[in-house]
Amino acid sequence: MNVLIIYYSLTGNTEKVANAIEVATNATKVKLHETSSRSGLVGIFRMVYQAIFSRPSKINYIETDITQYDLLILGGPVWIAKLAPALRSYILKERKNFKEVAFFCTESSSGGANVFKCMENLCGKHPIATLEVTESEIKTGRHNNKINVFVESLKSH
C-alpha cells in the first residue's frame, strides 16, 4: 500500500507522532506550512480566531500528487477542541482527490473526538483508523504503544 502522511505541527508534538508513523509504515511524509507566522500576540490572536470560528488559514502549495497514494494519513494538533486551520485548508482544497483516509491528532488532554468528526465531515470519508495522543504521552514515551496499534489497524484493513 502506498501511504502519504500530511500533517501540520506548530510545537513539534504532531511532528514527533508523524515521524514515528512514517518509520512504522514506510510512508512518504509532507509537512504543511502556513504563509503567516503564529508567533507574537497577532499570531496567537489569529490562531484563536481561526480555530474558534473554524476558519482555514493560508498554506503554502504542496507539489505532492496525492492521487498516487492509496492511503492518506492526516494529522494535526487540537486547538481549543477544534481542527487546526492549516489542516482544514488542506482538506478543503484536496478532498476530492482522497481515496482512503486515516486521522491522528495531538492534544493537551482532550478534543480529539471533535476534531476527528470535523475531519470526517470535511473529507466526506470515514477514516479506516484514528489515533489520539496527548502531550503527556509524548513526553513520557507512552505514545509508542498507541502508534503501534494504529499502524497495525492500518495494515489489517
Residues 59, 69: Cα–Cα separation, whole Å: 21
Residues 16-40, mean pLDDT to the nearest whole number? 90
Over 90: is that where the pLDDT of 67 sits?
Answer: yes
> Which of 26-30, 62-66, 136-140 shows the lowest per-residue confidence on average (mean pLDDT)?
62-66
Could you tell me which of 65, 93, 1, 74 has the C-alpha nearest to residue 31? Answer: 74
Across 39-64, average pLDDT: 76
Instruction: Determine the Cα–Cα distance for residues 80 and 100; give it in Å rounded to an integer.
Output: 27
According to CATH, what is the number of the domain 3-155? 3.40.50.360
Q: Would you call 13 helix, strand, or coil by DSSP?
A: helix
- 30, pLDDT greater than 90: yes
Q: Where residue 44 falls among pLDDT bands split at 50, 70, 90? A: confident
**Could you read off the pLDDT of 74-97 as tens digits, one per residue?**
999 998 889 999 999 999 999 999
Distance CA(116)–CA(51), nearest Å, equals 15
> What single-letter amino acid sits at 46?
R
pLDDT score at 97 = 95
